[in-house]
Amino acid sequence: MVWVPLRPTRTDRRALLHAPTPRGTTMSLEWLVGWSWSLDGLRDFIATGIQSFRDCDATALAAVACLMVLFVWYCYHVGREQPRAYATVNALMQSAEANGVQNGYVYCHSPECVRCTHHDGLNQKLYHNLQEYAKRYSWSGMGRIHKGIREQGRYLNSRPSIQKPEVFFLPDLPTMPYFSRDAQKHDVELLERNFQTILCEFETLYKAFSNCSLPQGWKMNSTPSGEWFTFYLVNQGMCVPRNCRRCPRTYRLLGSLRTCIGNNVFGNACISVLSPGTVITEHYGPTNIRIRCHLGLKTPSNCELVVGGEPQCWAEGRCLLFDDSFLHTAFHEGAPEDGPRVVFMVDLWHPNVAAAERQALDFIFAPGR
């Protein structure tokens, strides 16, 4: 004999609700009856669902089960994966603060740095970085990068002497010494609109030169003649926190640029000062994946930039875009009373490097990798 609890009828519930009870227990009884009624509805719903599954075809049920297993596996995989975050300039600044920066300039001490070290195993290291990226994300869109790494030696050795990037050459990019302003129109116009802001912050910085030969935060570069100073906000993909604090509005402006290279070792942003009588030795940049932008802040006469044998002059408040993987030099042949030539320099992505390629190159050439 099996005892089965009888399901209370609607009349029973009504009687129970209206039965005389102490005032303190009236709401409790109402809640319990409502909860009992909810459980009955839930039980009926579950029973109906089970019956509907029983009526389904076994093949359909197997397919649904497989999809559920795949979905659970995908959720687990995505939750477990911890991809490298492509940090903003602000995040890189915090990272540089933690690592320590001396005299406002980031020095790379890693013997494995692909930007600073040239050795026979460089291509293998780059290919390993590419494989790691593709394993985490995808091989889609990696054709040119894969081709460039696989045949890097041949590309660099066969390049004409006018263009020889020192570290990495990405094949099949349009080649020209200078780019039109439309190549990165948004960023060019944004920089030019903020010309006065950048100039004011430079003038505040430059006042310190009257007190000492090399103020903190400035770097003196080697030149055959004259003096060439740079004040880096971003150097080889790493922010310089102390310098950024001294140029807060210029630093914030970098975060508004759409194509600024801030996450890999080929990205820089600095104020560059040439004193009268200075000549910069002809040299090649490290890669052709970027275009270098110079915003003229102070441009006296007799100052020129020569890229691939073609001379150009700066203009105050205007941007000049060029590919520094070409052989290039700059000089200031003005008189001492003309004052220094000053530009704000920032590295932008080459307009023909696709978004997927930019993300992969940020990963492969991450600072310290």
Q: For residue 63, name the pLDDT band (cuts at 50, 70, 90).
A: confident
**Residues 43-60: what's their mean pLDDT?**
67
Nearest alpha-carbon partner for 289 in 368, 173, 367: 173
Confidence of residue 2 (pLDDT cuts 50, 70, 90): very low
- Which pLDDT score is estimated for 118? 52
- Please state the rounded mean pLDDT for residues 15-43: 53
Q: How many Cβ atoms sit within 10 Å of the Cβ of residue 122?
A: 17
Q: How many residues does the chain have?
A: 369
**pLDDT single digits (tens) 164-186:** 998 999 999 998 999 999 999 99
Mean pLDDT across 6-12:
49
Q: Is the pLDDT of residue 137 over 90?
A: yes
Q: Does position 92 have pLDDT exceeding 50, yes or no?
A: no
Contact assessment for residue 257 and residue 192, using Cβ atoms and an 8 Å cutoff: no
Q: What is the pLDDT of residue 64?
A: 76
Question: 96 falls in which pLDDT band (50, 70, 90)?
Answer: very low
Domains in the chain: ranges and CATH: 181-355 (2.60.120.330)
List of residues 6+ apart from 166 with CB closer than 8 A: 118, 284, 285, 286, 287
Q: What is the pLDDT of residues 209-233, one digit of tens each?
A: 776 678 889 999 999 999 999 999 9
Q: How confident is the model at residue 157 (pLDDT cuts 50, 70, 90)?
A: confident
Residue type, 23: R
Say whether pTM exceeds 0.75.
Answer: no
